[in-house]
Amino acid sequence: MSDVRGFAVLGHPIGHSLSPRLHTAGFRSRGLEDCRYLAVDVPRPESWPEVVETLWQQGFTGFNLTRPLKELAAASSRLGRRDRWAAATGAVNTLLVNGTDANSWFGANTDAPALLQSLEVRCLVSRRALVFGSGGAARASLAALESAGSTVTMASRRRLRAAARWVPFEEGLDAAKDADLVVNATPLGQDAEAGWPRLPVFEAGQTVVDWVYAPAATPFLLTAGRAGARCIGGLELLVRQAALAWVHWFGEAGPLLAMGQAVGWDPP
């Protein structure tokens, strides 16, 4: 094992990831000179456990997982333990690995509590929420909002079995104006990804959240802002979930201010 403490984000595609920048800023802020963070492309999703094992042999113990690995990891027998959010969402975005057997692999989900933090610091409460998507971010949004007492409707092309309320994607575009909280948990509008076939109609007073962070000002948020909605962007969610990953790696949350400033976001 190397003396360097390694951390990495795994996914595909991964070139757009800001995680190395913000985690490296966090290491410097805390004086963790022996830590490094890499973005690792995993073009064959099923190979992710072997990639983790190879990196562990090189001194890597902490991992973030992004599309399309979150759900694969949650369902994997390689995980010996999961936190309550990973169990609730069926998605894992944070790993702590201390060995190569299943008993030493711990999986967590920090997306769900990151969304809750973003709402709580603004004292926002949602009664009726609409979430676009069916992947890991959508699962995290569903679990987080239901835990806070929201009635959540999911809108997607692929029905999410965990959702009690579901509408087809196109129907969700028309229903957005009737929700007090609207969340985009799809990659629509992300750089190098498909755009929206048409954008929802928003109303003043709504809260609108977009998990996409590149670009920071997405068409989804720009449209919502022009309608008078309160907007929460993907950069904030990215930084908050990353800082919460440190709880599992280091026993305390990462430096939110330093990590946010590294990617151009300042906490409210």
Cβ 196 vs Cβ 224: under 8 Å: no
For the record, the structure tokens of 112 come out as 């769900």
Peptide bond into 215 cis (omega under 30): yes
Q: Which residues contact 264 (CB under 8 A, 6 or more apart)?
A: 216, 235
Q: Which of 5, 70, 78, 240 is catalytic?
A: 70
Distance CA 103, CA 106 (A): 8
78 in the Ramachandran plot: left (φ > 0), alpha (ψ -120 to 50) or beta? alpha
Cβ 41 vs Cβ 13: under 8 Å: yes
Distance CA 184, CA 235 (A): 13
90 in the Ramachandran plot: left (φ > 0), alpha (ψ -120 to 50) or beta? left
Task: Mark whether 177 is an active-site residue.
Answer: no
- Alpha carbon distances (Å) from 10 to 7, 55, 224, 244: 10, 11, 31, 17
Q: Is 256 helix (H, G, I), strand (E, B) or coil?
A: helix
What is the set of active-site residues?
70
